[in-house]
Structure 1
Amino acid sequence: MGAARKPGNAQGQMTKSTEYFRGVWAELKKVHWPTRQQLLVYTGVVVLSVAIVAILMWIVDSALTLALARFLP
């Protein structure tokens, strides 16, 4: 036997959805949004960090490739 549908179920779902989105909106108001200048600085730091890590990985990969080429025929 299935669960019986309640006549006011759609209204209850609408109320829950409305409350949920009001809560989401209230939380978004509490968020500290960076200024345009901060965003540019943070983006630059991330791009620079990724570039440095990529270069370091390339150096390690090249060194390991050369080392293996010497020991393997």
Structure 2
Amino acid sequence: MTFLAKLKQSFGTTFSFFSDSYAELKKVRWPSRKELTSYSIVVLVTVIVVAIYFWVLDIGISQLVELIV
């Protein structure tokens, strides 16, 4: 296969990829503003709870190491 043929084929697959991607994005059901707000709140609360859990765990392990040393 010649260089120009490979180049033409790669541009064809690139354009095909973007057109297929655009077609798939049109099929997506995007969340409403209310759903997006509730999902964001769930994520933030989860992150805060996990951060507090690891903070308490870190303090406990630090105290344990202090007692050992």
TM-score bracket relative to the smaller structure:
0.7 to 0.9
- Per-residue deviation at 1:42? 0.5
Superposition pairs of residues 1-73 of structure 1, within 5 angstroms: 4-6=2-4, 13-72=10-69
Structure with greater helix share of residues: 2
Identity %: 29
How far apart in 1 are the matches of 2:12 and 2:61?
Answer: 61
Gaps of 5+ in 2: none
Gaps of 5+ in 1: none
TM-score, length basis structure 2: 0.79
Q: Which has the larger radius of gyration?
A: 1
TM-score, length basis structure 1: 0.75
